[in-house]
Structure 1
Amino acid sequence: MRILYVSTELVPYTPENTLSEASLEIPKLMHSKGNDVRIFMPRFGTINERRHQLHEVIRLSGMNMIINDMDQPLIIKVASLPNERLQVYFIDNEEYFKRKGIYANKTGEFYPDNDERSIFFVKGILETIKKLNWKPDVIHAQGWMSALMPLYLKKYYADDAFFDDVKMVFSVFDNPFEGELDEQMIEKVHFDGISKDDLKHLEKPTFENLLKVGIDNADLVVQGDEVLPQDIMDYIENSKKEFKPHQAPESLCDIYPTLCEEVE
């Protein structure tokens, strides 16, 4: 299987927590089982490019993303995980990712454009793999800032034959933020031609509502943390989506049971 992993946190490039550790261990496991694995994350300004040996992928230069009617250059960088034959691709943009913080500044204030950063991140990944002509069997997005990936795959790229039959997995983690993202987020996503009928949760872009957007558009939902907010657990159950409860995976089928059966 070709498996694309999408996360905003990944050891050793961001601090250790359940999300960043899962974003490392699951791709490593799937790679060790003989799968073709790629990982994408943002190139946050907290990442030391020299120490981690990032370099720009020149053949992917010249791409631009339209975000809320603004043209933003997309830069792709790549590095290899230490002691692993696994490549990590970094989505970069001076406007969105140069600052020295992941989601917030040094005083803890949430960046007001985190909504646009999320949109740029997921659109940039999908355009990049098209340019690479690397079609995954599975896209596995993890965490709230990747929650728009299922939406964009299923709605924005619905008529793009390149993504036909790609399965979408979304892992839900309890790494919340307080308050809401920009109140105009729904308009920014709607600008991309996605119907407001598919964006009802973004009328109030809270942490839990972003997760619900990801759940609504995923083929399989994975419980990333041992404990999730009860509201989210109830929403997953009511969604009738295929669901994989939290466990330490040992094989491909531990994470992707139905998808694994299809491949076999």
Structure 2
Amino acid sequence: MKKILFVASECVPFIKTGGLADVVGSLPKCFDKEYFDVRVIVPKYMCMKEEFKNQMQYRAHFYMEMNWRSQYVGILEMQYDGITYYFIDNEYYFAGPKPYGNIYEDIEKFAFFSRAALSALPVLDFRPDIIHCHDWQTGLIPVYLKDTFQQGEFFRGIKTVMTIHNLKFQGVWDMKTVKDITGLPSYFFTPDKLEAYGDANYLKGGLVYADAITTVSNTYAEEIKTAFYGENLDGLLNARANSLRGILNGIDYDEYNPETDKYIAKNYNAKNFRKEKAKNKRALQEELGLEVNDKKFLIGIVSRLTDQKGFDLINYMMDEICQQDLQIAVLGTGEEKYENAFRYFAWKYPGKVSANIYYSEALSHKIYAGCDAFLMPSLFEPCGLSQLMSLRYGTVPIVRETGGLKDTVWPYNEFEGTGTGFSFANYNAHEMFNTIRYAHSVYIEKKREWNKIIDRAMAADFSWKASAMKYQELYDWLAGF
């Protein structure tokens, strides 16, 4: 029986700010329980829901040396969906209304968390064969394993996997402070280890010392070896290319299921969507104050409103897009300029544009179910989950060919009758606009073809099962089985 420990800063359903939480919450359930004992360790944030905090059982506590000071570490435990979760408790570090705050506080918080997670294992009497670390918040774990934890028999031979969910976030702070916080010797702060451009870099430490590196799609694994996508770590990623592989994220097919979804107006499936899906469109048009009309081409956007997601392209072409006979439903928050731009377009084009500048789980499901197409023109996209949800709901994605979008959306080919969506290659506003117009024309003029695109989209399988198999292969290889 192989023992695997996931260590991460967030995890569905306990705490979520992004796709990382979905991965850490969904993936452990998908491993074969006969061969893998997978457990998860996350911080116990004060802002978690009371219902979860009340179910946690106290396991132990101890005091841990953090360089020159002694810190309290509490360990709580909870079973959820057949998985054992451990929570590291320390009110000083994990108080506050949200999991992340100022980077200088987070730098100390996650040094504490990484060290506490390792120190808790002998107390819990759980010795993993592999520790699976996620993003920069856990980047110090492979480093600590090579340092202080090497002395103990317990930790010797534990292998580590480092998964990059988004290379843009690296945990960078000045070297003197990081040395002081982590208690790591100067030996680690050189350009071939934690030092990067004069600062200390948590993610870099993890990438140098992990036994294997994964990221969340094949294309992104290739892209990050180039200067454009490499966020100043492309040299290191090229040096470690033999240890780097892309494994696509999945989505939870129980939670995102048009046949059973409790948020949507009318349930449907791959067989009856031709009749039933339109009822969701009408309900959505009505709810958002758009003109209720089956013939209007309705485009959905559910996203963080940031440059990364391609909103400068959308913003630039929005007037031209709104000259077309279509509608747009937007849901999300982000940079102020984009929030305000959508409010302005909703005012300028009433009945055509609906701007919902907040986040709502229910409305996101209604948009995935009710729209005809889903727009995602990202500058870069490690994996992307929204396009997977759209495919699942038979809402045709219009994407830029980057990262996971390129790996999961097959462009429509009218001559071969293949494809599950529409895509464009260059990060160019007019190219995006022309792709939207092309999708619109297929929707209006070739309705049977459009429905066949939906057939293929809904038949695609991006559940966690396929990804879990790939991770199992990686764990087997690492543990030498």
Larger Rg: 2
Q: Which moved more, 1:240-249 or 1:1-10?
A: 240-249
Q: Does 1:88 align with 2:80?
A: no
| 2:25 corresponds to | 24
Name which of 191, 194, 201 aligns with 2:196. Answer: 201
List aligned pairs for 1:178-189, cutoff 5 A.
Answer: 180-181=172-173, 183-188=175-180
Q: Aligned letter for 1:96?
A: Y
| 1:50–1:252 distance in 2 versus 1, CA, 3 Å | closer
Say what the alpha-carbon RMSD is for the aligned residues.
2.7
- Fraction of identical pairs, as percent: 23
Q: Does 1:2 align with 2:3?
A: yes
Secondary structure of the 1:139 match is: strand
Q: Does 1:221 align with 2:213?
A: yes
| 1:191 corresponds to | 183
Deviation (angstroms), 1:54: 3.8
| 1:4–1:11 distance in 2 versus 1, CA, 3 Å | same
- The one of the two structures with greater contact order (alpha-carbon pairs below 8 A, sep at least 6) is 1
Q: Aligned letter for 2:466?
A: E
| 1:190–1:89 distance in 2 versus 1, CA, 3 Å | closer
TM-score scaled to structure 2, two decimals?
Answer: 0.48
| 1:48–1:259 distance in 2 versus 1, CA, 3 Å | closer
Secondary structure of the 2:64 match is: strand
| 2:161 corresponds to | 169
**CA shift digits 1:140-194 (9 cap, x unpaired):** 0001111111111122212221112211100011174599435533322562446
Q: Aligned letter for 2:6?
A: Y
**CA shift digits 1:51-101 (9 cap, x unpaired):** 45343424x12x1122241211111112222xx111111111111002222
Give the whole-Å Cα distance in 2 for the aligned partners of 1:203 and 1:121.
24
| 1:175–1:48 distance in 2 versus 1, CA, 3 Å | farther
Give the whole-Å Cα distance in 2 for the aligned partners of 1:119 and 1:100.
20
| 1:43 corresponds to | 44
| Structure 2: tracts of 5 or more residues without a match | 250-464
Contact 1:19 1:224 in 2 (8 A): no
Name which of 88, 94, 118 aligns with 1:126. Answer: 118
| 2:109 corresponds to | 117
Contact 2:170 2:202 in 1 (8 A): no
Give the whole-Å Cα distance in 2 for the aligned partners of 1:28 and 1:146.
21
Q: Does 1:260 align with 2:476?
A: yes
Deviation (angstroms), 1:214: 0.8
| 1:107 corresponds to | none
Q: Which moved more, 1:157-166 or 1:85-94?
A: 157-166
TM-score scaled to structure 1, two decimals?
Answer: 0.83
Give the whole-Å Cα distance in 2 for the aligned partners of 1:172 and 1:178.
10
**CA shift digits 1:111-142 (9 cap, x unpaired):** 53212111110111111111122111110000
Deviation (angstroms), 1:246: 3.1
| 1:230 corresponds to | 230
Name which of 198, 202, 211 aligns with 1:210. Answer: 202
Give the whole-Å Cα distance in 2 for the aligned partners of 1:156 and 1:230.
31
| 1:254–1:33 distance in 2 versus 1, CA, 3 Å | farther
Give the total of aligned pairs. Answer: 252
Contact 1:53 1:79 in 2 (8 A): no
Deviation (angstroms), 1:30: 2.1
